[in-house]
Structure 1
């Protein structure tokens, strides 16, 4: 597993995001892809549930899956549940936070080929101080500007809790952050970010786990 460099840590806390390369590699990466394929196939086969979030495009009837929430609770995701409990993402989170860490929630983000919409500009939450809650996004597929890459406003995790997201985006700069399969994109939950639509034939899937210091009180 790759470890964050001192320069990477500096960028994370200055800008609110950083990409750590090759955190997960084969065979685990390939097995996680197979697990993700099965979850998507189950949805396409008619499976529905409160954790399978989807939307319907205007003028169409076919629902589009965009998120599987509470991934650690899904019967078809034992490997993701394992990552929620322990493993390389925990180790990475602890090295970033500088203390023992615990996972709060995990989800699979799905950018379906050709149909995935953009995710609007937002902050995950602002009820944590900068540097106290981070999201780790493990990419199962390569991600670039054409298939749904993340976008960030550097330094926006340091803005006030009630800062206007659209004003932050307009003030910029806005940076597009690509990643390779197996890389982990780390961002402070306070950072202003979004993601692009997927206009390609390639899927863009990521497993997202929020980590906080282990001594943080549960909400």
Structure 2
């Protein structure tokens, strides 16, 4: 198995828009992933790292009767109960997540891969604490008809190394549903084309939701946090669901406050120009709080080996 350092990556872009190049898009389409090295500026990265600490602290102390309790995911390990995920990060009291969403570093990529009518469909932080080295079996996040791209923007807040639970990816597996039981039985964690994605804080992994990925069990060595934003084209959602036009409109109401927060915090930075089609431009509600959490209820089914523990979405 090789490491991702031997594959195409990108340095800090030299264009203000932060759109992907034709070469980068071609690599993503062929392989199902793309790495953007040091894509997030240091000051925003620090704000997000601090936000991540606060989300974890809040989840560990939240009362089971709190309306937000269901947004924190826990698992039972051999050494006890651990938290591993925070959903709907925008309404958790840390504006940095909205600043990230409204930045050209995210929206330029979303427009590059999904077109002008991109929709932010999921936002979460997934993490492994220092002593939590549980495996995430090989899986595909969501299986769909592939008329449109659906991808995750994965921002790493901490270093991720091959010997400490780094993500494994099997390039070129995104074109169809994979038999993950057969793959696991034959190869375990060592399929011949698999790579280990080693990352530094501020690095971004773009991954197609159908590319096969997972992480093997290791002895937990350090905190590893990743913020995930998923994007789909509005046209794709209308064609394939699992949501409707009203849901699209509500999700798109996240963009205006995100743009405002980024501009307020970074007035001298390049600002993203939102070019959404008039037919999809949302009726903006001045109540920002309402826009910050739009529950999913339904999900696009993924693929995993049912004889193994089912991974959480994403």
1:13 match: 29
2:127 to 110, 114, 121: 110
Report how far residue 42 of structure 1 moved.
Answer: 2.1
CA distance in 2, matches of 1:109, 1:130: 28
Contact 1:52 1:69 (C-alpha < 8 Å) held by counterparts:
yes
1:57 match: 77
Contact 2:133 2:220 (C-alpha < 8 Å) held by counterparts:
no
SS at 2:214 equivalent: strand
2:85 match: 67
How do 1:4-43 and structure 2 match up within 5 A? 4-43=20-59
How do 1:131-142 and structure 2 match up within 5 A? 132-142=149-159
SS at 1:96 equivalent: helix
CA distance in 1, matches of 2:142, 2:192: 20
Structure with the larger helix share: 2
1:165 match: 180
Report how far residue 29 of structure 1 moved.
Answer: 0.3
Report how far residue 98 of structure 1 moved.
Answer: 4.6
CA distance in 2, matches of 1:24, 1:182: 5
CA distance in 2, matches of 1:94, 1:39: 28
CA distance in 2, matches of 1:47, 1:21: 38
For the aligned residues, what is the CA RMSD? Answer: 2.3
Contact 1:130 1:158 (C-alpha < 8 Å) held by counterparts:
no
Q: What is the TM-score with the length of structure 1 in the denominator? A: 0.86
Contact 1:110 1:203 (C-alpha < 8 Å) held by counterparts:
yes
CA distance in 1, matches of 2:113, 2:226: 20
Structure with the larger strand share: 1
1:149 match: 166
